[in-house]
Amino acid sequence: MNTTFSQKMMRKAIALSKKSIEKGGGPFGAVIVKDGKIVASGHNMVTIKNDPTAHAEVSVIRKAANKLGSFSLAGCEIYTSCEPCPMCLSAIYWARIDKVYYANTKKDAAKIDFDDSFIYKQIALPYDKRSIPVVQMMRDEGLQAFKMWQNKTDKTKY
């Protein structure tokens, strides 16, 4: 993409972050583009929908996947007003988005009380050291579903 187009898309993501604040959401907006056209755009909806996963990036990934009729967003790029948090970054990888453009950094977000550094630290810890207990149980029963999946001949791989 050329610089002018990229700047236009980033300005749209930033404008969406401001719109989110006006509607009662957090200051985050995002746009997904494919072949030079906007596929989906949106903003943070966490407090609006009472959904902790409704970050701007996750919300537009859901919209784009629905619009394109595919869980793979290969060939798409995302413009986001802030460097993605761990959840959003994971969603971007799962969606197979080709490239991420962002405006504000995670340090900028931390300065206004959107600090995700504790999540990065928690992920690196052994389960028994995390602040939320993680307990494995009933593995043998759980593996039955995995065996079913492994033996399924008409599965859609992702």
Q: In what order do the strands lie in the sheet with 99-104?
A: 37-43, 29-34, 76-82, 99-104
Q: Which of 22, 57, 77, 141 is catalytic?
A: 57
Give this prediction's pTM. Answer: 0.92
> Looking at residue 124, what is its pLDDT?
94
> Looking at residue 77, what is its pLDDT?
98
The tens digit of pLDDT for each residue in 27-64 reads 999 999 999 999 999 999 999 999 999 999 999 999 99
Collapsed DSSP state (helix, strand, coil) of residue 38: strand
Judge contact between 14 and 103, C-beta under 8 A. Answer: yes
pLDDT at 135 over 60: yes
The tens digit of pLDDT for each residue in 102-125 reads 999 999 999 999 999 999 999 999
Task: Read off φ and ψ for residue 36, nearest 5 degrees.
Answer: 75, 10
Task: Establish whether 83 is a catalytic residue.
Answer: no
> Looking at residue 2, what is its pLDDT?
64
Mean pLDDT value across the chain: 96
